[in-house]
Amino acid sequence: MTQLVRLNATAITPDSAKQGTIAIFLNGLEVFTQAVNSLLELHDEIYTLSLGEERELVHQKRGWLPSRARCNSALNRLDDALAKLARLDVSEASVKPVAERLESALATADPSTISKWIIFMLEAKPASSSPNPAGFAKVLAAEVIATSPSFIALLCTCRVFWRSGDRFAPSIGEVLAELENQQRGWEGYFEKVAGLKEYKAKAIAALTDNRAQVLELLRRRRELEPSRQESACAARDYAILAAQQRYAAPR
């Protein structure tokens, strides 16, 4: 795995731009984001594999039995999903480094760090609609500090705006809305990443249980088929006998 930087409130600040290390830090953010996205893709894949019509198959109305072909088709899909789940790597070696750094990045940013990054974001905009840019920066920083954002949410919010094509600085409302979205998003990412191993185990357990239920349906179907065949044969014999009697009757 590519070396991940620690994204927290004591990491590189805009002051480091003078030494040119801010580019290294932002590159580290990209690497970190890619690592998180890779694990989120695993989470989505587990979710997709855990879905299917097999759950509907085993919860049909009482007394109803699906056909043998449908049961076999369901078993094939379940076996394929279980095989794919088994190959997904959610080992501690793959997940723990990212989860630890993500937890560190979710620590609340200190006020001085927030102020520095807000200024850094505003300096990236060549134009300003405010008659007092310095005063606007102070008010914006104060509003952001009041929300107690995590460092990762703060950093990603700033990145969203300095990458936008708008030459003007965002409004306070826009910044706070984006900050809330980033905070909620990263907290959700951490829950998914930290619980990835358990999530996979639950999915495997659920599919295994589902498979056992489909096997039981198939067993009941096989037991029922001989009696149905006997009933069909009896009905056929009765129809033949009735026809013979009808034609044999005197006219």
Given a cut of 90, whether residue 194 has pLDDT beyond it is yes
Cβ–Cβ < 8 Å for 145, 46: no
Q: 133: buried, middle or exposed (CB in 10 Å: 19+, 13-18, 0-12)?
A: middle
Q: How confident is the model at residue 16 (pLDDT cuts 50, 70, 90)?
A: very low
> What are the structure tokens assigned to 245, written together?
């009697």
Which helix (H) or strand (E) segment is 203 a member of? helix 196-248
Task: Concatenate the DSSP letters of all residues of 93-133 into one string.
Answer: HHHHHHHHHHHHHTSBPPHHHHHHHHHHHHHT-SB---S-H
Buried b / exposed e along 221-244 (16+ C-beta atoms within 10 A):
beeeeeeeeeeeeeeeeeeeeeee
Task: List, for residues 123-155, the tens digit of each pLDDT value.
Answer: 887 766 677 888 889 999 999 999 999 989 998
At 17 the pLDDT is 43
Mean pLDDT of the chain: 79
Given a cut of 90, whether residue 240 has pLDDT beyond it is no
Lowest mean pLDDT among 73-77, 88-92, 164-168, 241-245: 241-245
At 173 the pLDDT is 95
Given a cut of 60, whether residue 66 has pLDDT beyond it is yes
Mean pLDDT, rounded, for 223-238? 58
The CA-CA-CA angle for residues 134, 136, 138, to 5°, reads 75
Note the helical H segments in 147-195.
151-163, 172-194
At 13 the pLDDT is 45
Which residues have a Cβ under 8 Å from the Cβ of 89 and sit 6 or more positions away? 42
Phi, psi for residue 14 in degrees, rounded to 5? -55, -25
Task: List, for residues 45-55, the tens digit of each pLDDT value.
Answer: 998 888 765 56
Nearest to 51 by CA among 71, 89, 78, 87: 78
Q: Which residue has the tokens 């069909």?
A: 232
